[in-house]
Amino acid sequence: MKKFHRHTDEERRKWQDPEMILSTSGLKPGMTFADIGCGRGYFAIPAAKIVGEKGKVLASDVDPESLEMLVQKANTEGLNNIETITGKAEEIIPCKACADIVFFGQCLHDFEDPQKALQNARKVIKQKGTLINVDWKKQEMDKGPPVDIRFDEEYASGLIQKADFEIKEIMDSGPYHYLIKATPK
């Protein structure tokens, strides 16, 4: 499998604005934000700043090194409202019906069983919560993973609906991504 270039946060900010995406997602102070497949915290760190001291970020990833980098960034920025969870999205449920927003940032296509990851997300989200899936458009470009492993909007929407969510909106999210907003049925 061809390894793709992992962009630095500085490079990525030129074409993906995490604060704008989180704002579009409806994230507000005091909320609980579950970042599934959070990696090094590209979305988790700004989310922690938005939710503030009364809010919480549950950041899960299968890679302990990425989570360690996230913790270091959080400590550097004085953020103490991030709880990291190491494990597969298909296997972990950090809490039941606790998250205002469950967020998948460019990772749904990476899971061994995306349907199971979404079913677990359904258990984590509050009944009035919002699920957000931001992912790579399924087209050739000089960024991101190989096109053949990407999910297009229709396929991703189908998986989300099958996990007992209702699609509310599908929109472009910058030049390379789309954003799907869904709520529990």
Q: Give all domains of the chain, ordered by start, each with its CATH number.
A: 9-184 (3.40.50.150)
**What pLDDT shows up at residue 10?**
74
**What is the separation of C-alpha 113 from the centre of its chain, rounded to a whole number of angstroms?**
16
**What pLDDT shows up at residue 2?**
38
Report in angstroms the alpha-carbon separations of 99 from 27, 32, 96, 103, 150: 11, 5, 8, 10, 26
Encode 18-49: b = buried (16+ Cβ within 10 Å), e = exposed.
beebbebbebeeebbbbbbbbbbbbbbbbbbb
**What pLDDT shows up at residue 14?**
77
Per-residue pLDDT tens digits of the chain, which is 185 residues long: 334 456 677 777 778 899 999 999 999 999 999 999 999 999 999 999 999 999 999 999 999 999 999 999 999 999 999 999 999 999 999 999 999 999 999 999 999 999 999 999 999 999 999 999 999 999 999 888 999 999 999 999 999 999 999 999 999 998 999 999 999 99
**What pLDDT shows up at residue 6?**
62
Entry pTM: 0.93
Neighbouring C-beta atoms of residue 113, cutoff 10 Å: 13
* C-alpha to C-alpha distance for 60 and 44, rounded to whole angstroms: 10
